[in-house]
Amino acid sequence: MRQKWNVLLLVVLLGCCGVVLGQGSSSVTDVSPPSVSFICGTRPQIPITFGLARRFVESPIARPNFRSEIVKKFDGDPDLRPLTPSSLGSLLPQQADFSSFRPDSYTVQVYNGVVSIKSSWPWMALLGEENNPRAPWFCDGVLINEQWVLTAAHCIIEKVPHVVRLGEHDLSSTHASNHQDYYVKKFVFHPDYDHKQVYHDLALIQLKQRVSITGSIRPVCLPWGSHPLPATGSLLTLTGWGGTYYNGPRSDVLQEASLYLLPASKCVAGYSTLHDYAQKYPKGITSDLLCIGDTDGQGQDACQGDSGGPVMHRRNNKYYLSGIVSLGYGCGKPEFPGIYASVHHSPDLAWIKRVAF
């Protein structure tokens, strides 16, 4: 997380361009499903073949505990018959998600993850500065309905998002994607966000025009109603165009990683050793923060540039937003899991509903 805050810029920002601070009261906690309904959280599917299954097993998103089992089953079988998730049967854990797996490339990603298949995360957004033609994209965001994108508040403290790109996959190729750019109408900081602390690092961006929902552009689902936060230890999926190592350049191709929801105590153990803990975390790691990391030593994590992007869980074949990438110490350090703004925290979800639905 950036440490120097440009107070002057903040003052200028507050005085102009449709910035709204603290819209609504933060005490109201209505998180019932909004009346407008639309398709959310579904992704394009890819067929699974034997070769694909094998490469999936060898990829970092396959977890070691079932990797060895599945390799045993398929080793020595030269047959290239098609496989379906059901023919893989109980060997696959519930969270195994072939549709997120790019067969020919599972090198490095978000931090030690894999490259995602094209347009496979259709709610991913990039925030861009208008007057920076060489490197306009400074943070990620997530489309939550036809006109609003959720991101991290710290992203737009120093930089003004003028444009939001949707439907992007590979930033280096201009023709190979169906991306669409939308101008920003206004943005709204979470009313309880204080840039000197880590809590409620959320902001909403309203687009000037309504988004046309296509195969490659559609919103993620939000955990309305009594949708519980996944249990500690559950697998979550992180996506983003951030660096693949600390201080590294932004990744051109959208990356993804599988991570675990960890107990808050794991983050307290790491972050409380830092000199600025009392200042930045005066209430400790509260329930509006999620502590998410890797427990099996593969070092997957978010990194610089992933901020504002989503961490998600899958339920009934739909993806639900769990949290927004907020901060971390370095990238991929086992003692310092990533810290995310939770959208399961009722007052924060209720704020999203009041402003954007």
Enumerate binding residues for ligand ARG (CB under 6 A): 1, 242, 301-307, 325, 327-328, 331, 338
User: In residues, how long is the chain?
Assistant: 357
| Whether 349 contacts 222, CB under 8 Å | yes
- Report which residue type is found at 2: R
Output the smallest distance, CB 199 to ligand ARG, in A: 14
Q: Using CA of residue 306, residue 307, residue 311, residue 317, what is the dihedral sign?
A: negative
Output the smallest distance, CB 272 to ligand ARG, in A: 17
Output the smallest distance, CB 259 to ligand ARG, in A: 9
65 class by beta-carbon count within 10 Å (0-12 exposed, 13-18 middle, 19+ buried): exposed
Give the active site residues: 154, 201, 307
Task: Give the CB-nearest residue to ligand ARG.
Answer: 328
Output the smallest distance, CB 343 to ligand ARG, in A: 17
Output the smallest distance, CB 351 to ligand ARG, in A: 21
Nearest Cα to Cα of residue 183 among 212, 205, 201: 205
| Whether 187 contacts 206, CB under 8 Å | yes
Integer Cα distance of 35 and 199 in angstroms: 29
Cβ closest to ligand ARG, residue 53 vs residue 303: 303
Integer Cα distance of 77 and 57 in angstroms: 15
| Whether 286 contacts 201, CB under 8 Å | no
Residue 233, sorted as left (phi over 0), alpha (psi -120 to 50) or beta, turns out to be: left
Cβ closest to ligand ARG, residue 191 vs residue 242: 242
